[in-house]
Amino acid sequence: MILVSFLAAYHSGWDTDDERANEDIIKLAKARCRVKGSVDEAIDIAQRQYVKRVRDNHGVKEKNFKGLMLPLGVVVEELDATWLTNLDSFGANRGETAHKTKRASGQINPEDEYKVVRKLLDGLKELDEKILESQAS
């Protein structure tokens, strides 16, 4: 299942809204020596493109997350909606802290932050199980 999803994402251009990524995909596709290419070649190119997307990703907001999960065959809408909302909020807070504030503002409660991260990790464990399930399919 993952391989089929992976190749479908490759052939659909990963994300039609991301112009920079699409340009990279076109460059890689034009670099192929045979237009019809073998399945192995298509898988190799798809893998390189996906690895590039993972390396270029710097967020955990829902849009970023979907872009990383769909090629793996994970149906994001089947994941816990509360967990996705928490992940999106965590990503927004992370972006706010990393890019907009020069220093910490306000007090944080380490216990509350630990609970948030713990819940996110529990959701990641479930996600990992879903990915393993789709590998077996």
Closest of 59, 57, 34 to residue 45, by C-alpha: 34
Strands (E) in 15-133, as ranges, are none
Residue with more model confidence, 60 or 103: 60
Residue with more model confidence, 46 or 127: 127
Calculate mean pLDDT across residues 56-74. 81
Confidence class of residue 50 from pLDDT cuts 50, 70 and 90? confident
Give me the long-range contacts of 43-48 (CB less than 8 A, separation at least 24). Answer: 43/3, 43/6, 43/7, 45/10, 46/6, 46/7, 46/9, 46/10, 46/71, 47/6
Q: Is 39 helix (H, G, I), strand (E, B) or coil?
A: helix
By mean pLDDT, which of 21-30, 55-64, 100-109, 114-123 is the weakest? 21-30
Distance CA 23, CA 17 (A): 11
The percent of residues above 90 in pLDDT, for the chain, comes to 15
CB 90 within 8 A of CB 97: no
Answering whether pTM is above 0.75, one says no
Distance CA 44, CA 50 (A): 10
Distance CA 9, CA 66 (A): 12
